[in-house]
Structures are given as C-alpha cells and as structure tokens.
C-alpha cells in the first residue's frame, strides 16, 4: 500500500503513521482483528454511572440480558412491549455499538399465556412473535438468537422436550424462515449451552441440525456458544475444534454469554483459553460476556466476570485484553473486494490558523465494512466531524465519545484515550472515504 497522503487542500506528502500500539479497551482490541467484544446489558442498570461508564468504554456489542425475551416483549398475546428493550437498543446505537438480539423463540421465559398453549395455536403464536419482534427491530440487529436452547442435556443428542418441540420437529426451521422474512439483514443464529465440548452428544446433535439446515437451504448464518463455565463444567481442551468444525459448515460462530466462575490467575487463564479459541477460528466473529461486574452476574457468587463489584479490572480482564491485542493479524472474514479503494491510505484536512488537523487513515477492510482511524494534531481539545455517504453507516467507535446529529454525521470528542480514535463503517458497497474536519472544542 502507498503511504502517500492526499491533502484536502493543496498538495502534501507525508508518511502514514505505523499501526497504533496495543489497544486499551476490549472493543478496540477485538476490532484489530475485525471482531467485536460485547456484553449483556440490563435496562435497570442504565442509570448506574459506573456500569454505563464501563459499558461505553469497553464494549462494542450489546445483548439485552432479559428485555427482548418472549415474556418481556409480548406479555399479553398480540400486545407487544418494547420499552426496556428499546432503552438498551437506543443506548447502544447512540454510542455506535451494535446489538445482538436475544431471543426470539425459547422454551423458557415464555409469557404465561404462551406456556398454556399447544399445537397449531402455539406454532402460529410463536411464528407471529418471531415475525413481529424481528420486524420491529428490522435493520437494528446484527444477529438474532432465533432459537435458544432447544437441545436436551445428557447423552441423547436429541431435542429438548418443550411445548414448542411438541408442535413438530420443524418448529426451529419455521422460526428461522420467519425471522429471515422479517429482517433479511440480520444474521440468524442458533444459540445453546453445554455445546462447547466436541465429544458431547448435545454438541453433536446441534452440529447435525446445522449441517442439515445448510444442506436444505434453511436460513441459518451463525451458531452461538453460550459458554457458561465453572469448575464442574470447565472450558474443554477441544474448544477450538468445536468452533472450527461448526465454522466449517459455513456458518459464523460467536461466543454469546461467556462467564467463568473463579478468581485470580486460574480464572484469567481460562478466559485466555476461550478467547484464544475464538481468535484461532476465522469465522469466530466475536465474544460477548454475560454482564459487566461480578455483582451484575446472574450467578454473582461465582464472581465470573471481568470487572469486580466496584468496577475494577480483574486479572481476567487483563488476560483477555492481552490476547486480543496479540491477534491483530487474524481477520475473521475474507477481505475481498475488487472495488475497494487502493492507493493513498490517509487524507489530511487543512489546519486553520490556531486550529487543528485531522488525518484520516484507512484500516482493515471486509466484504461489508471497513475501519478508519483519525489522528488529531494541534490540540488535545478537539471536535472532529466525520461524515459518511449513503448507504454507509458508522456502526462502532473506539477511543472517542461520539454524538450523532444525523444518521450520517458523527461528532467525535476525546474520551481520555489520546488523540487517535477509530470507527467501523458498514459500507453497503460504497467504499468512499468519510470526510473529516477538525475544530478546537
Ligand atoms: O426483575 C424481577 C424482580 O422484579 C423480581 O422481584 C425477581 C423475583 O424473582 O425477579 C426478577 O426477574 C429476574 C430476572 O432475571 C431479572 O433479574 C427473574 O426472576 C430471573 O428468572 C431472571 O433470570 C434470568 C435468566 O436468564 C432467566 O432464565 C437472568 O437474569 C439471565 O441472566 C439469564 O440469562 C440466560 C440466557 O437468557 C440464556 N442462557 C442462560 C442464561 C443464564 O441463565
């Protein structure tokens, strides 16, 4: 690649700066290899400033812990309720984060009216739920857990008994087809737990279902591995094999609800192993932890998360960050395009007298998105306006606090992480560089 700089006004030739050093947040570190790092979020914690501070700083993908489940979104049949889910989705999107939808169809956390249904009435109610909720959030969800936890534990390798399963074995594929029709842009995932060990019957059962779906054209794009670990259910040594074998079926794999009970270096090593397993699989596109601080966890007594109850980084946090920072050469999707721009890799806005300069440098590129970085000189108190052109959309940011005056304009300010910030653009086929301009704040 060339290191020539195209100046917005007048000619200038500079040498592009080398790739920046180690990233200082989980999201920024994961983005170096094109992945995301997410967390589950509870709506009732969005007023907790410590919680929100960590959320905004560290994560670029959000899953509603309970608020998008069937009992929350359709408490009475045909009456949908999105208040708490919307709070989470809007908070995430306002911060440039993406959203994993969880979950459209599940035997658990069904509203009371659904628990009492069976047969055709239940099948139709489930499909209507999938259609309504996925339609409501159309265009806002990166990936949906369309069906959650439909396989039995133990040695059978078969389906879990449930009222949904009793409507017929095809209920899962029916749900996936309804979700695809409702939101064609969302990746559609099957999500489950105890599917981490390749030799377990449950893992094999899910694998056979995904293999069957792919062979018959049932729309499935990804498999979520919840990854709830503890001493009785430790991280298996063949975890990488499991992820790779599923990916080889032609689906993305994602770690969707990671938590590991324990403390200190033992816990840190286990986290490291899980993250390394994901990073070693090209189609492992991201990792989500199931909560922020230990005290936020559904199993708080096991202290299974990356931040302690006061919001301090634990040893597990540091090990995850370090592994992510060492993975920058691994790219999760094939960076292909015959139309992406080649040539200069940076562009610099002119500096007003007493003002500041913003230099845009292109980052990694993928089929559907690209990264860009902006370095500001001349002041530490900058306001940079980044404008993208339709149908581009900025879907993630790092090392900045962003506001959004309109859909294609982002106003970026320092967030304490220096004078270089970055963002990911979902380009929709438009590879034009964003324009950047700088003002002293
Ligand atoms: O908010 C109510 C509160 O008002 C009430 O007083 C209290 C008394 O029971 O319940 C509170 O709701 C609880 C809710 O979490 C919010 O804390 C529910 O009882 C409780 O059942 C619910 O647990 C959730 C669990 O799913 C339900 O199955 C956990 O928060 C949530 O972390 C957990 O998440 C699941 C994933 O969706 C799927 N994979 C497993 C994972 C862990 O179980």
| Residue 272: CATH number of its domain | 3.20.20.80
Whether residue 257 lies in the annotated active site: yes
367 shares its domain with 292: no
Q: Is the CB of residue 66 below 6 angstroms from any atom belonging to ligand 1?
A: yes
Gap from CA of 88 to ligand 1 centroid (Å)? 16
Length of the chain (residues): 441
Mean pLDDT value across residues 172-181: 98
pLDDT band, very low/low/confident/very high, at 345 (cuts 50, 70, 90): low
Let me know if residue 211 belongs to a domain: yes
388 shares its domain with 314: no
Distance CA 69, CA 316 (A): 29
Gap from CA of 326 to ligand 1 centroid (Å)? 35
Phi, psi of 175 (to 5 degrees): -65, -40
Let me know if residue 175 belongs to a domain: yes
pLDDT on residue 370: 82
* Ligand 1 atom nearest 103 alpha carbon: 37
In the set 65, 67, 74, 257, the catalytic residue is: 257
Let me know if residue 425 belongs to a domain: yes
Q: What is the pLDDT of residues 246-295, one digit of tens each?
A: 999 999 999 999 999 999 999 999 999 999 999 999 999 999 999 999 99
Gap from CA of 356 to ligand 1 centroid (Å)? 49
Mean pLDDT value across residues 157-182: 98
Q: Is the CB of residue 44 below 6 angstroms from any atom belonging to ligand 1?
A: no
323 shares its domain with 183: yes
Q: Is the CB of residue 109 below 6 angstroms from any atom belonging to ligand 1?
A: yes
Mean pLDDT value across residues 32-37: 96
| Nearest residue to 33 via CA among 286, 318, 246 | 286
Q: What is the pLDDT of residues 41-77, one digit of tens each?
A: 999 999 999 999 999 999 999 999 999 999 999 999 9
Closest residue CA from atom 16 of ligand 1? 66
387 shares its domain with 315: no
pLDDT on residue 17: 29
pLDDT on residue 156: 96
Gap from CA of 109 to ligand 1 centroid (Å)? 9
pLDDT on residue 136: 98
Distance CA 402, CA 366 (A): 23
Separation of first and last alpha carbons in the chain: 34
Q: What is the pLDDT of residues 102-112, one digit of tens each?
A: 999 999 999 99
Let me know if residue 78 belongs to a domain: yes
365 shares its domain with 254: no
312 shares its domain with 385: no
Examine the pLDDT at 342 and tell me if it is beyond 50: no
Examine the pLDDT at 186 and tell me if it is beyond 60: yes
Least confident of 16-20, 209-213, 289-293: 16-20
pLDDT on residue 60: 98
Let me know if residue 20 belongs to a domain: no
Gap from CA of 171 to ligand 1 centroid (Å)? 25
| Nearest residue to 221 via CA among 144, 163, 303 | 144
132 shares its domain with 215: yes
* Ligand 1 atom nearest 108 alpha carbon: 28
Closest residue CA from atom 42 of ligand 1? 298
pLDDT on residue 396: 82
Domain extent, residue 422, equals 357-440
In total, how many domains does the chain have?
Answer: 2
Residues 6+ apart with CB under 8 A from 137: 89, 99, 101, 183
Q: What is the pLDDT of residues 353-397, one digit of tens each?
A: 678 888 888 887 766 788 899 999 889 999 999 998 888 888 888
Beta bridge partners of 62: 39, 99
In terms of pLDDT, which residue wins out, 339 or 380? Answer: 380
Gap from CA of 168 to ligand 1 centroid (Å)? 28
Q: Is the CB of residue 116 below 6 angstroms from any atom belonging to ligand 1?
A: no
Q: Is the CB of residue 65 below 6 angstroms from any atom belonging to ligand 1?
A: yes
Let me know if residue 140 belongs to a domain: yes
Let me know if residue 19 belongs to a domain: no
Let me know if residue 334 belongs to a domain: no
pLDDT on residue 385: 93
In terms of pLDDT, which residue wins out, 137 or 341? Answer: 137
| Nearest residue to 65 via CA among 222, 288, 230, 307 | 288
Closest residue CA from atom 18 of ligand 1? 66
pTM above 0.85, yes or no: no
How does DSSP assign 296-324, residue by residue?
GSTTGGG--SSB-TTSPBPHHHHHHHHHH
Distance CA 122, CA 117 (A): 5
222 shares its domain with 118: yes
297 shares its domain with 368: no
Q: Is the CB of residue 226 below 6 angstroms from any atom belonging to ligand 1?
A: yes
In terms of pLDDT, which residue wins out, 329 or 324? Answer: 324
Gap from CA of 44 to ligand 1 centroid (Å)? 12
pLDDT on residue 429: 76
Q: Is the CB of residue 373 below 6 angstroms from any atom belonging to ligand 1?
A: no
pLDDT on residue 390: 83
Relative to beta strand 409-413, strand 401-406 is: antiparallel
Examine the pLDDT at 175 and tell me if it is beyond 80: yes
314 shares its domain with 382: no
Closest residue CA from atom 21 of ligand 1? 109
CATH of residue 436's domain is: 2.60.40.290
368 shares its domain with 425: yes
Positive/negative CA dihedral, 7, 9, 13, 14: negative
* Ligand 1 atom nearest 193 alpha carbon: 39
371 shares its domain with 324: no
pLDDT band, very low/low/confident/very high, at 404 (cuts 50, 70, 90): confident
Distance CA 138, CA 182 (A): 7
């Amino acid at each position: 690649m060339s290191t020539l700089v195209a100046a917005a006004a007048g000619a200038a030739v500079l040498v592009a700066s080398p790739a920046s050093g180690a990233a200082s947040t989980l999201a920024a570190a994961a983005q170096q290899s094109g992945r995301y790092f997410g967390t589950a979020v509870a709506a009732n914690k969005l007023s907790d400033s410590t919680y929100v501070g960590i959320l905004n700083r560290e994560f670029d993908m959000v899953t509603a812990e309970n608020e998008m489940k069937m009992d929350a979104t359709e408490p009475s049949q045909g009456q949908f309720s999105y208040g708490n889910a919307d709070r989470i989705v809007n908070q995430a999107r306002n911060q440039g984060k993406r959203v994993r939808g969880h979950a459209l169809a599940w035997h658990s956390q069904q509203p009371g009216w659904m628990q009492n249904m069976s047969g055709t009435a239940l099948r139709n109610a489930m499909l209507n739920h999938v259609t309504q909720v996925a339609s409501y959030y159309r265009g806002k969800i990166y990936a949906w857990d369309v069906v959650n936890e439909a396989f039995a534990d133990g040695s059978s390798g078969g389906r879990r008994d449930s009222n949904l399963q009793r409507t017929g074995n095809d209920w899962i594929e029916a749900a996936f087809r309804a979700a695809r029709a409702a939101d064609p842009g969302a990746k559609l995932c099957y999500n489950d737990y105890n599917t981490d060990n390749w030799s377990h019957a449950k893992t094999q059962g899910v694998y056979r279902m995904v293999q069957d779906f792919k062979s018959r054209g049932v729309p499935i794009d990804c498999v979520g591995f919840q990854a709830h670990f503890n001493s009785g259910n430790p991280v298996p040594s063949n975890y990488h094999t499991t992820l790779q074998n599923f990916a080889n079926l032609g689906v993305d794999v994602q770690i969707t609800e990671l938590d590991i009970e324990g403390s200190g270096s033992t816990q840190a090593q286990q986290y490291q192993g899980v993250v390394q397993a994901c990073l070693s699989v090209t189609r492992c596109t991201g990792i989500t932890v199931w909560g922020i601080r230990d005290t936020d966890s559904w199993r708080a007594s096991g202290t299974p998360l990356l931040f302690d109850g006061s919001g301090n980084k634990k040893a597990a946090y540091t090990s995850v960050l370090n592994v992510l920072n060492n993975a920058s050469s691994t790219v999760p999707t094939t960076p292909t395009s015959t139309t992406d721009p080649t040539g200069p890799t940076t562009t610099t806005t002119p500096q007003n007298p007493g003002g500041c300069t913003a230099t845009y440098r292109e980052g990694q590129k993928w089929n559907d998105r690209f990264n860009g970085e902006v370095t500001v000189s001349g002041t530490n108190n900058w306001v940079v306006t980044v404008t993208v052109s339709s149908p581009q959309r900025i879907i993630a940011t790092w090392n900045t606090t962003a506001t959004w005056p309109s859909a294609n304009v982002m106003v970026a300010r320092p967030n304490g992480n220096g004078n270089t910030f970055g963002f990911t653009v979902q380009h929709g086929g438009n590879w034009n560089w964003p324009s950047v301009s700088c003002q002293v704040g």
